[in-house]
Amino acid sequence: GKDISKLTPQDRVKEGISFVPQTRNVFTGLSVQENLEMGAYLREESVHEIINEIYELFPVLKEKKFQIVGELSGGQRQQVALGRALMTKPSVLMLDEPTAGVDVELRQDMWKVVESLRKTGVTIILTTHYIEEAEAIADRVGVINQGEIIVVD
């Protein structure tokens, strides 16, 4: 019920909205830990607890926390991007193709994380080409063709 169209990105984050773009979604020259810390730049409280929660969601990131993100696989970069977005404890999480370019096993892991987030009450809005996988966890599904909504379920 609130118009956010004129809010700055920082103000949208303050309103509880996080966004993970499909590409260019990590700081490749920073470590995993530094990327997560960048996601918390608006938080006033300690970030250590939330960083540990991110490492529980994505154990491989804990193992690689001091590694430069540019050296990680595409799937691991996606995990960093999602983890960074979660650092603000959003109430709305927007994901653009969160499983694009990742192998099947990691894709399944990412869907499990998205589903677990949804179960905690986070509203998730996502775009994907993996319709069946999204339908398995979604409350509602919309299909857009060339900018026009053609189906809403």
| Three-class SS of 47-107 | CHHHHHHHHHHCHHHHHCCCCEHHHCCHHHHHHHHHHHHHCCCCCEEEEECCCCCCCHHHH
7-62 tens-digit pLDDT = 998 899 999 999 999 888 999 999 999 999 999 887 777 888 999 999 999 999 99
Q: What is the pLDDT of residue 100?
A: 86
86 versus 101: the higher-pLDDT residue is 86
CB distance 142 to 151 below 8 Å:
yes
Distance in angstroms (rounded) separating the CA atoms of residues 61 and 66: 9
Specify the residue for token string 């193709």: 97
How many whole angstroms separate alpha carbon 27 and alpha carbon 53? 20
Q: Which residues contact 118 (CB under 8 A, 6 or more apart)?
A: 124, 137, 139
Report residue 95 as tokens: 């994901």
Predicted model pTM? 0.89
At 96-141, the pLDDT tens digits run: 999 888 888 889 999 999 999 999 999 999 999 888 988 888 989 9
Q: How does 77-95 read in b/e, with b if 16+ C-beta sit within 10 Å? A: bbbbbbbbbbbbebeebbb
Q: Is 34 exposed, middle or buried (0-12, 13-18, 19+ CB in 10 A)?
A: middle
pLDDT band for position 149 (cuts 50, 70, 90): confident
